[in-house]
Amino acid sequence: MKHNNLDEMQEQELLKIEHNGCWLAFWGLLLAIIVQAISGKGDPFGEWILFMLLAVYMGIACMRKGIWDRRLKMDGKTNLLVSLVAAVCAGAFMFAFSYLRFDSLDGAIASCAIMAVSVFVLCLIALSLAARATKKRQEALNAEPDEK
């Protein structure tokens, strides 16, 4: 193990900085992908791969440590609310994308509705499965004896 030159307070501050940097990268990449997709300029393929790798890594790493979120509860009501927010955002994106590309209001509304329903259902399923896996991992971590 490498020697750490930081005291506990400095370590906590560094963790906060890393945390903020990670979320800045996460949301910045998502914004770049959305802007490129709507404007039609550039191919967001590289950014999309990096964004998905970051999202998968963060999700799996948190589940393995039994961490859900600092503020949100791990329950069905929260999963419904988060799924609804994701569905509205995805629907709005699809509406803007379809309308700007094809200039058809009916088509944009239809694609918005299909996207919103699909994202809501898939997000709710994914969050429910992740919550179940996290609860199971928390129970396993709590059952392990401390050998430190």
Domain region containing 45: 1-64
Residues 57, 90, single domain; the answer is no
The pair of three-digit structure tokens given for residue 15, joined into one six-digit string: 């963790």
| pLDDT per residue as tens digits for the range 64-107 | 888 888 778 899 999 999 999 999 999 999 999 999 989 999 99
Q: Are residues 44 and 76 in the same domain?
A: no
Residue 15: pLDDT band (50, 70, 90) is confident
Domain end marker among 12, 43, 64: 64
What does the pLDDT average to over 43-56? 84
At 10, is the pLDDT very low, low, confident or very high (cuts 50, 70, 90)?
A: confident
* pLDDT reported for residue 1: 54
- Which residue carries 């967001």 as its tokens? 44
Considering the entire predicted model, what is its pTM? 0.76
Q: How would you class 84 by CB atoms within 10 Å of its CB: exposed for 0-12, middle for 13-18, buried for 19 or more?
A: middle
